[in-house]
Amino acid sequence: MQWETVIGLEVHLQLATQSKIFSGAATQFGAEPNTQACAVDLGMPGMLPVLNEEAVRCAVLFGLGIGAEIGLRSVFDRKNYFYPDLPKGYQVSQFEAPIVGKGEFEITLSDGSSKRIGITRAHLEEDAGKSLHEDFHGMSGIDLNRAGTPLLEIVSEPDIRSAEEAVAYLKTLHSLVTYLDISDGDMSQGSMRCDINISLRPVGQEEFGTRAEIKNVNSFRFVEKAIHHEVERQMDILEDGGSVVQETRLYDADRDETRSMRSKEVANDYRYFPEPDLLPVVLDEAWVQSLRETLPELPVEKRQRFESQYGLSTYDASVLTDSRALADYFETVAADCGDAKIAANWVQVELLGQLNKSELDIANSPVSAEQLSGLIKRILDDSISGKIGKQVFEAMWNGEGDADQVIEARGLKQVSDTGALEAMVDQVIADNPDQVAQYLAADDGKRKKLVGFFVGQIMKASKGQANPRMVNELLARKLV
């Protein structure tokens, strides 16, 4: 039978606030255990939550960024379950009245096609702490620094049909939230974690199959692998005439498999009720409107502008708009050197190549936009060839200064002095009488190929520094 995969994603996004959602404790990553957990985060008796306005602002910005309905009156609820890293015994979340309602955004797939994925809702909630199961004499260690960190849980419609679409959705979402500057989006630090709801149904069937939920997948690559595995597992069950059990599964990256989380089976009853310690959050329409006016240019708009303004392909434009910092870098280089296509090429090939190799972020690039554009300018004014440019780039990468300093220090300036070039051309012609005779005997079509030999010899003699355009001109004049 032919099966169709149906996927919905729930993404937990850590919002980039200084303090927790309901307390004044810091949210900085990597602090000593429990040094950023105050009485509110620990669930001490008598503590009352007070909502962080920045978390609200981030959530609304997200809603505006996906064109969603903004919940002008949203309500916090208690989601009840027991786990040691949840000190109060409930998580403060939003259930009936979330702050962000229905919206959607577009994803682009590798074949260039695009698809709209619906967002069901996004709501504010607090994160739980962390349980460490390493050896503490048979006990678990609890770090509550993360407890109370503001999260935006973004729930998609079951519109996703493959692992590739799921990854494209997450990448688009990642790009959107970093453009909006509402999260650092750092998956390695858990700033973006993903639950995957996945089911299969026979192709053509309207009704959804029974789904399994895979919890807490924290990288694009694991999302892809976890989906492939879960699809295979469910397909095996269904092909054998069995039925999928609705359950929560955990993706184990080490063993590359999903397995059942038995403890969650009985606990799947969260008994939500309105949080009595918080009042309804009422937003002013004018305030939402003022936020709408501060929205930056978003990835899709920027990509379209790059295509039309700079004449870039959809692919190039989408690579360059992947992050706001990269797009800004490219635009600085393009504006400064005056040639957007060459700028795009250098940023994509040399710069991104080196950044990836060194696992560096654009923000930490050793070569600044001004330096790269300085290099491109020297190529454009024929001071150096593109090939030498790569050498100069490497030297700049290694901290040898900007392009002019490297060219000067290494003596890489292209020889454009007619006298010096003429002497080299004359020498090569004198040294290779056979090739000269061959060239003179050939017709125009063949001459074009044969002239390459002389150019090669001259480039060799000049250690690549002869100006190729001038060499060609001189050869054309002298080979008669």
Partner 1 sequence: MAIEQDEIEKIAELARLRIPPGEINELTERLTGILALVDQLQAADTSGVEPMSNPLDAVQLLRPDAVTESNQRDAFQAIAPAVEEGLYLVPRVIE
Which of 47, 80, 432, 461 is the binder for partner 1 (CB under 8 A)?
A: 80
Q: Which is nearer to partner 1, 53 or 111 (CB)?
A: 53
Point out which span in 138-146, 175-183, 330-338, 370-378 binds partner 1 (CB under 8 A): 138-146
Point out which span in 35-43, 174-182, 306-314, 448-456 binds partner 1 (CB under 8 A): 35-43
Query: What does each C-alpha distance from 422 to 58, 193, 414, 418, 427 come to in angstroms?
Result: 66, 65, 14, 6, 8
Q: How far apart are CA 447 and CA 468, in angstroms?
A: 17
Which of 50, 245, 253, 409 is the binder for partner 1 (CB under 8 A)?
A: 50
Least distance (Å) between residue 8 CB and partner 1 = 22
Which of 13, 37, 200, 406 is the binder for partner 1 (CB under 8 A)?
A: 37
Least distance (Å) between residue 175 CB and partner 1 = 24
Give strand pairing partners of 342: none
Q: Say if residues 459 and 466 touch (Cβ distance below 8 Å).
A: yes
Q: Does 461 bind partner 1 (CB under 8 A)?
A: no
**b/e per residue, 291-317, with b = 16+ CB within 10 A?**
beeeeeebbbebbebbbeebebeeebb
Query: What does each C-alpha distance from 470 to 338, 404, 428, 460, 461 come to in angstroms?
Result: 23, 22, 15, 15, 15
Q: Does 196 bind partner 1 (CB under 8 A)?
A: no
Strand order across the beta sheet in which 77-80 lies: 90-93, 77-80, 273-274
Q: Which is nearer to partner 1, 82 or 204 (CB)?
A: 82
Helix H or strand E encompassing 156: strand 150-156
Which of 7, 59, 68, 97 is the binder for partner 1 (CB under 8 A)?
A: 97
Site string for partner 1, 298-337 (x = CB under 8 A): ----------------------------------------
Q: Which is nearer to partner 1, 281 or 376 (CB)?
A: 281
As a residue count, the chain comes to 480
Query: What does each C-alpha distance from 381 to 3, 404, 416, 446 come to in angstroms?
Result: 59, 12, 11, 31
Q: Say if residues 175 and 297 touch (Cβ distance below 8 Å).
A: no
Point out which span in 119-127, 271-279, 319-327, 396-404 binds partner 1 (CB under 8 A): 271-279
Point out which span in 113-121, 142-150, 364-372, 425-433 binds partner 1 (CB under 8 A): 142-150
Q: Does 55 bind partner 1 (CB under 8 A)?
A: yes
Q: Does 279 bind partner 1 (CB under 8 A)?
A: yes
Which of 160, 281, 421, 451 is the binder for partner 1 (CB under 8 A)?
A: 281
Which of 109, 112, 114, 131 is the binder for partner 1 (CB under 8 A)?
A: 131
Number of residues binding to partner 1, judged by CB under 8 A: 57
Within residues 354-393, the interface with partner 1 by CB under 8 A covers none
Q: Is the dihedral of CA 99, 182, 300, 167 positive or negative?
A: negative
Residues 6+ apart with CB under 8 A from 224: 163, 164, 166, 167
Which of 3, 4, 26, 158 is the binder for partner 1 (CB under 8 A)?
A: 26
Pair of tokens at residue 44: 């001490």
Q: Assign 430 to helix, strand or coil.
A: helix
Point out which span in 99-107, 128-136, 157-165, 328-336 binds partner 1 (CB under 8 A): 128-136
Given the rule CB under 8 A, which residues bind partner 1? Answer: 17-19, 23-26, 32-39, 42, 50-56, 75, 80-84, 96-97, 131-133, 136, 138-144, 250, 261-263, 266-267, 269, 271, 274, 276, 278-282
